[in-house]
Amino acid sequence: MAVIEVRDLYKRYGGIDAVAGVSFDVAEGEVYGLLGHNGAGKSTTVEILEGHRRLTSGTVSVLGADPGESGREFRDRIGIVLQTSGVEKQLTIREALRFYGSPSRDPRPIDEVVEMVGLTAKIDARIGTLSGGQRRRLDLALGIIGRPEILFLDEPTTGFDPVARRESWQLIQQLCAGGTTVLLTTHYLDEAEQLADRVGVLAGGRLIAEGTPEQLMASAPNTTISFRLPDGISADQLAVPPDAVVEAGVVRLETEQPTALLAVVAAAAVECGVELVGLSVKRPSLEDVFLQLGDDDHDTEVSR
Amino acid sequence: MSWPSAFTLVREQTRYQILTFMRSPVGLFFTIGLPLVMLVLFNALFGDGTVDTPAGSWSVQQFYTGGLAAFTAVSATYTNLVNMVPIRRDDGILKRWRSTPIPPSIYLTGWILGALTVALLGVVLQLTVGVLAYDLTIDASKVPAMILTFVVGVAAFAALGLAVAGLVPNADSAPAVANATILPLAFVSDIFIPLEDPPRWLDLVGDIFPLKPFVNSFQNTLNPLVDSPGFTWDKMAVVAAWGVVGAIIASKTFTWEPSTSGSKRDKRRRHKSPAASADFSG
């Protein structure tokens, strides 16, 4: 059952469509990633779903209600983790969770939430003394204190170092395992790949692709084979097809049949008695797919 | 599961506001400490004099304690709200509250009751120091008038504070707006200087804006020349009218969303020097 339904959503600011006809569904318990560059329409879409902004046209339903019209009941059932939202530095973690949980009908016990995000040792520390990573954990804790059925995560790891990102991912994965529906925005493709069951790619206010991370990658199936061209050997001698790219002595081959091609090239190399230095066979990353899709969209924008 | 009762919600919100305020040393000093310092200074400088008013003359000690107590109440409400609401708005704290199921009216009630508590603390401290150190006499029969004047004034200045906070474009300009609105008025409102025979236009300015009517109403409850019960109804009506205007403006201008201007760097700088540090009005 879909707990979020978006149909032909438009949001216009001063004659420009920030969101231009977006439709998607998020099923109960699903982790859905909205992926896109800055200005692609992610934040606008999510803020409409959270009830922070009104839509221009289209229909949106979250937990069976119109977020623009719903009040207290609706906000009790959602949780929002916003990177840009501050919290009172004078309070301790325990105090902040107590105050921010107090309007909810059934807040989680503070000790339980603190345990979930791994801040037990810091529970009575002033928020102003926490490290950046601990602050993120607190943000998550504040997002889930009211037992939300849907959790909105707005760019949960933007600005993190690699270790902090991995930690956050683990934390989010643990939370998702509890069956909470999550709508996540990100411009990191590896993040969507890690966390999301399904991904919608936004560019220029439009949803230009949607699917599981695997499906999205399969939509650009070419595998890249690359190696350094040995001295004194031409590309032709190695049976490299004519569409190959040779740049600064490095050969790059895109193919849908990497096994067959590699067999031919490798056999030729062995025959010439040379070793292929730096030989690699790479599957496309989601990033490659995404950038390609974004570029395509950009091209159509320009040509219009 | 049922909703928490309105009483519980208001209690938690008020506690939250008082706790965050009490842990802001700078705000605490300017709101509570500085008026006490002024009380001591003014009494040291002018303590033996008398204030002449059309009704007769009375001691400077009684005059200053009442005026500075009223001014403390205004700092705790108006000045603090104009400073703190835009800071929390720009920090995204208001937006965070907006994403909880708190009813907006209860959230605002928390701000107002928190400010009222701080005002009460400040006024009681002023009067205590006045009684203990400066022979201030409090006429028991005029205490009801004092309490009512305090409540009307605090409610009105809290509403005005929320109204101006809604009009302030961003947190960086909030302290300037708070000071520019309250300080000049304070000088023509019988707080720092008793105005004996001021130019007519200055008198008029003082009477139109709500600060002088509130200060005079409060001073009257301590003025030995004013008979019991000591209600100054016409001036309290001016204060109340301003409060109603403030509440109407606040209900139209209040917003949960941070202003888009102002970079992250500005925000960090602001945390190091809390806005109240630019506020020497309280």
A254-277 pLDDT, tens digit each: 888 888 888 888 888 888 888 888
Contacts of A80 (CB under 8 A, 6+ apart): A50, A143, A151, A152, A154, B96, B99
pLDDT score recorded for residue B58? 75
Q: Is the residue at B188 inside a domain? A: yes
Q: Which residues face A17 on adjacent strands? A: A12
Rounded distance, CA A285 to CA A292, Å?
A: 11
B-chain residue closest to A97, CA distance = B16
CB contact under 8 A, A102 and B1: no
Closest to A127 (Cα-Cα) out of A95, A160, A83, A99: A95
Domain spans in chain A, listed from the N-terminal domain onward: 2-218, 223-282
Domain A2-218: CATH architecture, name and number where available: 3-Layer(aba) Sandwich (3.40)
pLDDT score recorded for residue B55? 63
A-chain residue closest to B15, CA distance = A99
Helices (H), B135-232: 143-167, 174-187, 200-208, 211-220
> Do A150 and A182 meet the contact criterion of CB atoms below 8 Å apart?
yes
Q: Which of B3, B20, B97 sits opposite A91 (nearest CB)?
A: B20
Rounded distance, CA B258 to CA B266, Å?
A: 13
Show the beta-strand stretches assigned E in chain B: 50-53, 56-59
Q: Is the residue at B239 inside a domain? A: yes
Output DSSP code: residue A52. S
> Do A110 and A94 meet the contact criterion of CB atoms below 8 Å apart?
yes
User: What sign has the CA pseudo-torsion B37, B40, B45, B49?
Assistant: positive
Task: Provide, as residue numbers in chain A, all residues whose Cβ is less than 8 Å from the Cβ of B23.
Answer: 90-91
CB contact under 8 A, A105 and B9: no
Q: CA–CA distance from B234 to each of B149, B182, B197, B238, B240 (Å)?
A: 12, 22, 21, 7, 10
CB contact under 8 A, A103 and B2: no
Question: Which among A78, A85, A91, A150 is the top mutation candidate for probing chain B, defined by the most B β-carbons within 10 Å of its own β-carbon?
Answer: A85
pLDDT band at A290 (very low <50, low <70, confident <90, very high): low
Which two structure tokens, joined as six digits, stand for A281? Answer: 């066979």
Rounded distance, CA B226 to CA B141, Å?
A: 12
| Element (DSSP H or E) covering residue B141 | none
Determine the residue type at A99.
Answer: F
pLDDT score recorded for residue B45? 84
Half-sphere exposure of A151 (CA within 13 A, CB side): 27
CB contact under 8 A, A90 and B99: no
Q: Which of B2, B19, B100 sits opposite A75 (nearest CB)?
A: B100
Question: Total domain count for chain B?
Answer: 1
Give the neighbor-by-neighbor strand order of the sheet with A245-247: A245-247, A250-255, A223-228, A280-282
Q: What is the DSSP string of A116-157?
A: HTT-GGGTTSBGGG--HHHHHHHHHHHHHTT--SEEEEESTT
- Phi, psi (rounded to 5 degrees) for A4: -125, 125
Q: Write down the mean pLDDT value for chain A.
A: 86
Q: Is the residue at B1 inside a domain? A: no
| Least-confidence region, from B91-95, B168-172, B275-279 | B275-279
**Max alpha carbon distance in chain A (Å)?**
76
Burial level of A256, CB count in 10 A (0-12/13-18/19+)?
A: exposed
Please tell me which of A103-117, A214-228, B56-70 the model is most confident about, judged by mean pLDDT: A103-117
| Least-confidence region, from A50-64, A272-286, B46-60, B247-261 | B46-60
CB contact under 8 A, A72 and B3: yes
Question: Which among B99, B107, B259 is the top mutation candidate for probing chain A, defined by the most A β-carbons within 10 Å of its own β-carbon?
Answer: B99
Q: Is the residue at B110 inside a domain? A: yes
pLDDT mean over B20-40: 91
pLDDT score recorded for residue A300? 37
Rounded distance, CA A213 to CA A192, Å?
A: 8
Give chain A's length: 304
pLDDT at residue A6 tops 80: yes
pLDDT at residue B109 tops 70: yes
Entry pTM: 0.81
Question: Which among A43, A75, A88 is the top mutation candidate for probing chain B, defined by the most B β-carbons within 10 Å of its own β-carbon?
Answer: A88
CB contact under 8 A, B102 and A50: no
Torsion region of B245: left, alpha or beta (phi above 0 gives left; psi -120 to 50 gives alpha): alpha
pLDDT score recorded for residue A3? 94
pLDDT mean over A18-25: 94
- Domain with B196 in it: 6-278
